[in-house]
Amino acid sequence: MSVANRPRKGARIKVEPIRSLVDIGRIKSLLANRPRDLALFTVGINTPLRISDLTTLTFSQACDLKPGKSIVINEQRTGRRLKIGWNRACFQSVDGLVKAYDQTKHMGATSKEQYLFRSRRGEVLLTSSVHRLVKSWCKHIGLVGNYGANSLRKTWGYHQFATFGTDLSRLMTIFNHATRRQTMDYLCLQPQDFKNIFEHEL
């Protein structure tokens, strides 16, 4: 990369959402035999949780949560109380993780209070560790672009809008953004991501 194209010193490079459902499926296939990583990825792209809130989820919060129920957290960054829906994908991935921990005897008497996504030492996963993991998964399947820890939350928001048609104003509220433009920039939305209202027939 030429000097002219390099980001200035101290600048933060914006990470992107994973836009293709096919690519999401490829990453899930890649992680099929890694229960912790699969659950981390699946819950990350199925909720609007910030990484700091995602990595500090405990078994007591998530392991008995059924599809259609909600989890309530206080965001570490803002202190805001947030109610998050728990879908079938989250349930199945966490259920697989719990069974994997049971089989390897990693869950003890205090397991309910342990972190759901633990490091090898049983400690909370650092954001930098999640960043490296996401980057490596995307690189492994040949994704071109800049991806990292925050790609998980952005992927949720991107597909809520571009795939499922959730109103941008609702996403703005969930992300605690001040303007719609802030949400659009955050999700890296392009003109082609906006559905053409004139294509609908009555």
Residues 94/65, Cβ–Cβ less than 8 Å:
yes
Contacts with 138 (C-beta within 8 Å, 6 or more apart), sequence order? 18, 23, 27, 145, 147, 151
Token pair in block for residue 80 = 């805001």
Structural domains in the chain, CATH included, are 13-194 (1.10.443.10)
Handedness of CA 94, 98, 104, 108 (dihedral sign): positive
pLDDT tens-digit profile, the chain (202 residues): 334 434 455 445 789 999 999 999 999 999 999 999 999 999 999 999 999 999 999 988 888 889 999 999 988 888 889 899 999 999 999 999 988 887 765 544 445 668 899 888 878 899 999 999 999 999 999 999 999 999 999 999 999 999 999 999 999 999 999 999 999 999 999 888 887 656 656 6
If you ran DSSP here, which 8-state letter would residue 15 be given? P
